[in-house]
Structure 1
Amino acid sequence: MTDLTIQWLGLDLRSPLVVGASPLTDDLDALKACVDAGAGAVVMHSLFEEQLVAEQMAAHHFIDSRINMDAEARSFFPESEVFEMGSGSYLKRLELLQSALDVPVIASLNGTSPGGWTQHARELENAGASAIELNLYDLVTDLSDTAATLEQRQTDVVRSVVEQVTIPVSVKLSPFYSALPAFVAGVEAAGARGLVLFNRFFQPDMNLDELELSREVVLSTNAELPLRLHGVAMLYGRTGLEMAVSGGVHSGDDAAKAILSGATAVQVVSALLAEGPKALARITEEMTRRLSGMGYDSLAEARGVLSMENAPNAQTWERLNYARLLHGWR
């Protein structure tokens, strides 16, 4: 039987399967069931800096609009429970999960400014987060903002957070970097401990009947997994960062592929949203059976066997084979 224990970001995990950032954060019973089913850790849903700023601005606007009603109004200020002026509810939830679950709880931070990132990162550490997952996503709409300035800004953010906390920091990336290995080298130099590949974005669609934009949550399928496998396989052996796959893992074979490509941890979300915690028990059993059947006594033995560095036909990861594949598509 394959030993599933791992070290991720310096944390001892009973399994590489991690509950990824999702609405499950708000369902303690579901998270407990996931842990009972074998989850090695839990990632909370993201704390969005811009959402906090918007809420604070709305609260201040409400207060300011009433200050000039009369002279006495200036002495009025709503009770703190009326307006949450910051990340208090998220921090309370983090503290609750840390006390209720016997696995590491990783906070997720999605920010937009170096100052905001560092402030909230310190709050998360003080609230007991085992680690922080930085969710890097910066949508460029300014024509003068180049790839170089974007990547420099993001590595500066990573460095500023790492310098402010003592807990490990992983970085969740999008797949849209033109030179992913070089950017990852910058993230590593900035002090990160791990990578999560890749983020999934819920891009708006169009409702042609109403002539408006719409946004719906679309669960992943394992058709999205190869993009993650390619990224991990390409980076394995070229970076000292521990890697996790996120997106497209719905079966034990999917998880095994992630490990064989070079991943240390495997995040699961959509399968849990579709099936509930029982999906985690199923994936664990399938993954264990597959890797044991292949003769691996531990995940360390299996990790990276099919990476670009180690695969017997590593050239298959390269673009050259795209032409060969199309030529023989029938």
Structure 2
Amino acid sequence: MTELATRWLGLELSSPLVVGASPLTDDLDALKACVDAGAGAVVMHSLFEEQLVEEQLAAHRFIDSRINMDAEARSFFPESELFEMGSDSYLQRLELLRHSLGVPVVASLNGISTGGWTRHARELEAAGAHAIELNLYDLASDPEETAEALEQRQLSVVRSVTEQVSIPVSVKLSPFYSALPAFVAGIEESGARGVVLFNRFYQPDMDLDELELSREVVLSSSAELPLRLHAAAMLYGQTSLEMAVSGGVHSGDDAAKAILSGASAVQVVSALLSEGAGALSRITREMNARLSGMGYRSLAEAQGVLSMANAPNARTWERLNYARLLHGWK
């Protein structure tokens, strides 16, 4: 049997399998079942700054529109500046999970402003988060803003958060950076402890019958994993950041590939949404059987073995393989 203990974001985990950010974090019983099934840590769903702002503005508009409807209206409604909506329910949930699960709980933050990111990050730390996962998703829609300007703004956000909290910060990235190693180097310089490869974006589709946009959650498949493996294998040895692979992990072999590519942790979501906590038990068994069958006594021995820095034929990771693959696709 392979010893599956690992170190991720400076946290000691009994297993590299992590419950990724998902609606499951609203179900305490489901999370307890995941921990019993072998989860080494849990990432909460994101706290969205713009959602909190919109809720606050909506509440203010509601109260202000009614505050002078009759002579006694002020006795029914508080002044809008006294009406408080915000992150309280999320923070209470965080405290509950921290005291109930017995594994590290990572809070997730998706912000839109430097001030908002830092304010909420401090709240998450005070509520007991073991670490914070920052979701960087800044849609490039302005033709006058360059990629460099956008990336510098994102690095400024990372730096502002790491300077305000003492707990580890991990950054969840999109796969769309044109020079990923350089950007990851900037993240490391900004004080982060890890990166997550990669975020999956639930983007709108089109309903041609109704002629409107529609949103539908499409679960991942193992076919999405190679993009993550390539990035982890390329980054391993070039950065001291501890990497997690997220997206496309549905089997023990998927998880083993992520570790061999250089990941310290493997986030699982879609398999859990499809199968429940039993998916973690199955993936753990399969991963252990695969790694122990390959002769690895510990996860540390297997980590990065097939990275670009260590693979017997590292050129397979490079672009030359693209031409060869197309030439002999049959």
* TM-score interval for Structure 1 and Structure 2 normalised by the shorter chain: over 0.9
- Within 5 Å, give how 1:1-330 maps onto structure 2: 1-70=1-70, 72-74=72-74, 76-78=76-78, 85-330=85-330
CA–CA distance in structure 1, aligned partners of residues 149 and 189 of structure 2: 17
Unaligned runs of 5+ in 1: none
CA–CA distance in structure 2, aligned partners of residues 45 and 300 of structure 1: 29
CA–CA distance in structure 2, aligned partners of residues 140 and 77 of structure 1: 41
CA RMSD for the aligned pairs? 1.5
Contact 2:63 2:79 in 1 (8 A): no
CA shift, 1:320, in A, is 1.2
CA–CA distance in structure 2, aligned partners of residues 64 and 116 of structure 1: 24
Contact 2:46 2:110 in 1 (8 A): yes
Identity of aligned residues (%): 83
One-letter amino acid matched to 1:201: F
Task: Look up the SS of the partner of 2:186 in the other structure.
Answer: helix
CA shift, 1:249, in A, is 0.1
CA–CA distance in structure 2, aligned partners of residues 76 and 114 of structure 1: 36
CA–CA distance in structure 1, aligned partners of residues 75 and 147 of structure 2: 49
CA shift, 1:77, in A, is 3.3
CA–CA distance in structure 2, aligned partners of residues 29 and 145 of structure 1: 46
Task: Look up the SS of the partner of 2:93 in the other structure.
Answer: helix
Task: Look up the SS of the partner of 1:128 in the other structure.
Answer: coil
Task: Look up the SS of the partner of 1:195 in the other structure.
Answer: strand
For residues 163-184 of structure 1, the C-alpha deviation after alignment (integer angstroms, 9 at most, x for no partner) is 1111100000000000000000
Task: Look up the SS of the partner of 2:163 in the other structure.
Answer: helix
Task: Look up the SS of the partner of 1:273 in the other structure.
Answer: helix
Over 6 Å off, 4+ runs: none
CA–CA distance in structure 2, aligned partners of residues 56 and 268 of structure 1: 33
Task: Look up the SS of the partner of 1:132 in the other structure.
Answer: strand
Structure-2-length-normalised TM-score: 0.97
For residues 74-119 of structure 1, the C-alpha deviation after alignment (integer angstroms, 9 at most, x for no partner) is 4543599xx7610011011101111110000000000011000000
One-letter amino acid matched to 2:302: A
CA shift, 1:203, in A, is 1.0
One-letter amino acid matched to 1:24: L
One-letter amino acid matched to 1:10: G
One-letter amino acid matched to 1:89: S
Q: Number of residue pairs matched?
A: 329
CA shift, 1:69, in A, is 2.3
CA shift, 1:68, in A, is 2.9
CA shift, 1:63, in A, is 1.0
Task: Look up the SS of the partner of 1:35 in the other structure.
Answer: helix
CA–CA distance in structure 1, aligned partners of residues 233 and 191 of structure 2: 22
Structure-1-length-normalised TM-score: 0.97
One-letter amino acid matched to 1:247: G
Task: Look up the SS of the partner of 1:170 in the other structure.
Answer: strand
CA shift, 1:72, in A, is 4.2
One-letter amino acid matched to 1:236: Y
CA shift, 1:24, in A, is 0.2
CA shift, 1:70, in A, is 4.0
